[in-house]
Amino acid sequence: MNFTLIPEEAPSDSLRRIAAEQIEGAIAQLQRKDDLNEGIHEARKHFKRVRALLRLARGALPAETYVSENRFFRDLGRQLSPVRDSAVYIETLDLIRNRYHAQLADEPFLRLRERMVSEHRAVLNEFTRDVQRQESLFHTLQGAQPRANNWKFYAGEFSLFRGGLRRIYGRGRSEKAAAFAQPSTERFHAWRKRVKYLWHHLQLLQPLWPAQIRVLVRDCDRLADRLGEEHDLAVLLETPVVQAMKDTDGQRADQLLTVVSRERERLRRAAIPLAQRIYVESAGRFVDRIEGYWLAYRPHTHFLPQGTTGRGER
């Protein structure tokens, strides 16, 4: 499964292929017998890649196709969110306890983790036992594959990507500025979503100039991780088990709040140099640069007769 363009393919054919492969991958993950918890996590990643692909081609897709398909994969991901979210709470608590072991080594934090594990198992078991729900997921996903194979695009070659790439990069710049001007959980989370989409877009476009784009892919991945950890820590404090801890053991709850606040500040500071490198250009200049790479990637398209879109464009 190759989440990237292929030089020999028309870009529209690449996008259809990639979307169909991501859907197939999600189906396979949801049928895993060895580790359904991990399968759910991976399936959600597949859904997010399809949504990123839709955003990249948004300017060349019929509006109704973009809206309906984006909503479709968003809603599928939400069906799996309770299982994944309950696992993230545990991972986030483990992360903060590993980094601040001396402050969070007491027995109350072990009991907090045990309650989170118990809740996660309950949510996962509920999903596992709901065979009808799983069959419905498989059925709807199987119906999505032929749709993806028949997506129609208004544009071809780099025009297929120009509008979506400009939109996501520009929004990322704006939301970065808003997050640092008036820091809040919501603003940093909104910015993180744009970083993730840009990361996926650059993964798709990496063959244009692998050595150059690989650096951006790496920086976007690292930035998304830092912002993701920061958001997970904020959400951890709002979980029912942590809220209950405030009533039963206020001192330990305050300890957790202190170290979480310290770590969130560290992660926000660590995001600054990455963000400055990624968003150093205006959206227009960024897209122009990527288009320059495109002409080196598919140089023959520059000489196509006007109005010709190349093989597979429709």
The CATH number of the domain holding residue 141 is 1.40.20.10
| Whole-number Å distance between alpha carbons of 37 and 154 | 39
Q: Are 154 and 61 in contact (CB under 8 A)?
A: yes
Residue 313 lies in a domain: no
3-state secondary structure of 281: coil
The rounded Cα 49 to chain-centroid distance in angstroms is 7
| Whole-number Å distance between alpha carbons of 300 and 219 | 31
Tell me the residue length of the chain.
314
Our count of domains for the chain comes to: 1
Half-sphere exposure of 282 (CA within 13 A, CB side): 3
Residue 209 lies in a domain: yes
Residue 314 lies in a domain: no
Q: What is the DSSP letter of 279?
A: T
For 256-286, b/e burial (b = at least 16 CB within 10 A) is beebbeebbeebbebbeebbeebbeeebeeb
The pair of structure tokens assigned to 29 is: 């993950």
Residue 131 lies in a domain: yes
CA angle 124, 196, 74 (to 5 degrees): 50
Tens digit of each residue's pLDDT, the chain (314 residues): 689 999 888 999 999 999 999 999 999 999 988 999 999 999 999 999 999 999 999 999 999 999 999 999 999 999 999 999 999 999 999 999 999 998 898 899 999 999 999 999 999 999 999 988 888 998 999 999 999 999 999 988 999 999 999 999 999 999 999 999 999 999 999 999 999 999 999 999 999 999 999 999 999 999 999 999 999 999 999 999 999 999 999 999 999 999 999 999 999 999 999 999 999 999 999 999 999 999 888 876 554 544 444 444 54
Residue 5 lies in a domain: no
The pair of structure tokens assigned to 105 is: 């080594």
Q: Are 104 and 244 in contact (CB under 8 A)?
A: no
Q: pLDDT by residue (tens digit) across 108-163?
A: 999 999 999 999 999 999 999 998 888 899 899 999 999 999 999 998 899 999 99
Residue 175 lies in a domain: yes
Residue 76 lies in a domain: yes
Residue 156 lies in a domain: yes
Which residues span the domain enclosing 228?
Answer: 11-297
How far CA 109 is from CA of 141, 179, 253, 298, in Å, comes to: 40, 31, 9, 56
